[in-house]
Amino acid sequence: MDLASKQIERIKRTGNDSYIAIFDLDHFKNINDTYGHLIGDRVLKCTAERVNSAIRPYDLFGRYGGEEFILFISDINETDVINHTERIRTAICDTPMVFEEVKLTVSASFGVASVMSADNIKDVINLADKALYKAKNEGRNKVIMS
């Protein structure tokens, strides 16, 4: 969060387009309830590995809480950020996760907000979070821009 706050200050000065994306794994509670928390933890780790291999080296990525993750995607326009987050979503979803005898297909819902749409990181995160809930309400496993 400290790195993202510093990046926001840089972006406000340069005027480059940047975005916050929040995503979570759809129906993750069902994974924990059905397969246990050890498999749930492995799903989270596998998700993080897939996201890390799909993002650019200078994108900021971290776990936000539970099965929720956050991305700070800088120096990108609106069309490209949608395409970029869609690639990340498909990196998570397109290949089943296999752990011993368990084979799971996981999906993710994304909410994206422009850093320039608010005065501080908390407000941008709030906008991205609202877009995430819109994605969930519209059927999940999609990217929605606020």
> Which phi-psi region, left, alpha or beta, contains residue 141 (left: φ > 0; alpha: ψ -120 to 50)?
left
d(Cα 54, Cα 38) in Å, to the nearest integer? 25
* Residue 81 is assigned to a structural domain of this protein: yes
Identify the band that residue 16 occupies on the pLDDT scale cut at 50, 70 and 90. Answer: confident
pLDDT at residue 84, as a whole number: 97
Domain membership flag for residue 26: yes
Both tokens assigned to 55: 């993002």
Indicate whether 146 belongs to any domain: no
pLDDT tens for each residue of 117-127: 887 888 999 99
**Contact predicate 56/19, CB 8 Å:** no
Q: For the chain, what is the mean pLDDT?
A: 92
DSSP 115-129: GGGSSSHHHHHHHHH
Q: What is the pLDDT of residues 61-76, one digit of tens each?
A: 999 998 999 999 988 9
pLDDT digits (tens, 9 = 90+) for 81-135: 999 999 999 999 999 999 988 999 999 999 999 998 887 888 999 999 999 999 9
In a domain, 141, yes or no: no
Domains: count for the chain: 1
User: What CATH number did the domain enclosing 42 receive?
Assistant: 3.30.70.270
In a domain, 144, yes or no: no
Task: Quote the domain boundaries for residue 132.
Answer: 2-136
- As annotated, the active-site residues are 67
